[in-house]
Amino acid sequence: MSGTGSGPTPATATTIAAVQGQGMGIKNQLLEDYDGVPFIRPRYYPDVNMKRSRDYWDYENLAVNWGNQDDYEIVRKIGRGKYCEAFEGIHVKTQTQIVIKILKPVKKKKIKRELKILQNVCAGPNIVKLLDYVRDSQSKTPSLIFEYINNLDFKQLYPTFRDYDIRYYIREVLKALDFCHSQGIMHRDVKPHNIMIDHSKRQLRLIDWGLAEFFHVNTPVNVRVASRYYKGPELLVDYQLYDYSLDIWSLGCMFAGMIFKREPFFRGSDNYDQLVRIAKVLGFDGLSAYLNKYNLELDQHFDDLLDRFPQKSWTKFVNSECAHIAHQDSVDLLDKVLFYSSVAISWLSGLGVDLYTYQVACPSSVIPSCWKRRHLLGLFSQLTDVGLRSFATHLAT
């Protein structure tokens, strides 16, 4: 099986079993087969790119009309990554603050993919706004121009969060993820470093779409994505038929770090140790069942690393330092987003998240009892998926 997907492939899947999902509202999910490798079709947004014209997702044939680099000036360096350097800058004519992301030499295909995906999602909620894209006339080095966010480093910000803040910002990230998933796109690098927060304005932006990819059913994709501490189990066991659920796992790792004041929550020394750290919390039996379900075999390197670790209760991570924010509904939400099977780690988890973030819009204590049901129904109506909205409304009735 190839390491990267180049687009949708003809459906060769055949139903080999019906499995019972583990998350809320999951029933009759079909375990299918692609070249001998089982996978489960996502219940939400599975065929977005099949229903759109090829122009929507075919980034390799994107014709780029580069803007004028002289319209912008660099002020100072604010960050760097494996594939880019980031600078604060200004738009010369308007003196507006902007961010300039200068891309390091990579394949044109990767640059076009990031640009095409940004064009498709940047109008979505809480997604960084792409303003322009320019290229140096001599070196041909491309740069992307973004809106400026007055971000405070998460290492300083997260320790100050109250319960209310965590609920609010988790909801804001989920809005961004639900939108990009609804557009048939996986972010694949969700982590604190890629979530800009201007806390004074309570403004959040999901940034860095350099590893994002279009989702196509039955199409193997690269597992060398995401940052180690936020990699889902599917990446660590080389399972290439993953889907949007990867982003929710990564957000779950962030969420655990926030409520338990332990960032990163899974701190592996390398990719092997990362899976071991996960198994020490979620248990070895769950990992074994996951591997068996998808006909996966672990690298022999794990033979001396993995033991029959028992599953730990999330309450074991609650201490005097975090008890004021690690409430029961927080722990219940972790159960819905951090577990081995990718079946339910999707926007279906939004039902649980919406209940969790219920207090964000208006604390329950200030809502008259006769209005609580109507308020809850109003929150449910904001969910994107019609089926999920209907199911949630049924629960609230």
Q: Which long-range contacts (CB under 8 A, 24 or more apart) does 296-301 make?
A: 296/237, 296/238, 296/239, 298/237, 299/272, 301/272
Domain span holding position 284 = 154-396
Q: Which of 106, 130, 147 is the last residue of a domain?
A: 147
Q: How far apart are the first and last CA of the chain?
A: 47
Q: Express as a percent the part of the chain with pLDDT over 90.
A: 66
* Whether pLDDT at 223 is above 60: yes
Answer whether 304's CB lies under 8 Å from 219's CB.
Answer: no
Among 92, 122, 147, give the residue marking a domain's end.
147
- Using the CB atoms, write b or e for 292-313: b if 16+ within 10 Å: ebbebebeeebeeebeebeeee
Choosing from 147, 181, 203, the residue where a domain stops is 147
- pTM of this structure: 0.82
- A 10 A CB-CB count for 351 gives 21
- H-run or E-run covering 323: none
Determine the pLDDT at residue 31. 60
Active site residues: 189
DSSP codes, 154-194: HHHHGGG--HHHHHHHHHHHHHHHHHHHHTTEE----SGGG
Pick from 206-210, 312-316, 339-343: least confident: 339-343
Q: Looking at the structure, do residues 110 and 160 belong to the same domain, yes or no? A: no
User: Is residue 352 assigned to a domain?
Assistant: yes
pLDDT tops 60 at residue 374: no
Q: Are residues 271 and 143 in the same domain?
A: no
Q: Residue 395 above 70 pLDDT?
A: no
Residues 113 and 243 in one domain: no
Residues in CB range of 39: below 8 A, 6 or more apart: 13, 31, 32, 33, 218, 241, 294
Residues 260, 205 within the same domain: yes
pLDDT at 2: 39
Domain count, the chain: 2
Residue 240 corresponds to which tokens in the numbers above? 């290439």
Whether residues 165 and 143 share a domain: the answer is no
Average pLDDT value over all residues in the chain? 83
**Domain co-membership, 228 together with 319:** yes
Q: Are residues 142 and 164 in the same domain?
A: no
Q: Give domain status of residue 245, yes or no.
A: yes
- Residues 187 and 75 placed together within one structural domain of the fold: no
Identify the pLDDT of residue 42.
82
Residues 208 and 345 in one domain: yes
- How many of the other CB atoms lie within 10 Å of CB of 15? 9
Question: In angstroms, how far apart are the furthest CA atoms of the chain?
Answer: 67
Whether 222 is in a domain gets the answer: yes
Q: Are residues 240 and 277 in the same domain?
A: yes
Residues 213 and 323 in one domain: yes
Q: Which two tokens stand for residue 172?
A: 């804001």
Which H or E run contains 257?
A: helix 245-259
Query: Of 150-159, 209-218, 308-317, 340-349, which range is least confident?
Result: 340-349
Q: What is the CATH number of the domain that holds 113?
A: 3.30.200.20
CATH number, residue 336: 1.10.510.10
Partner residues linked to 79 by β-bridges? 86
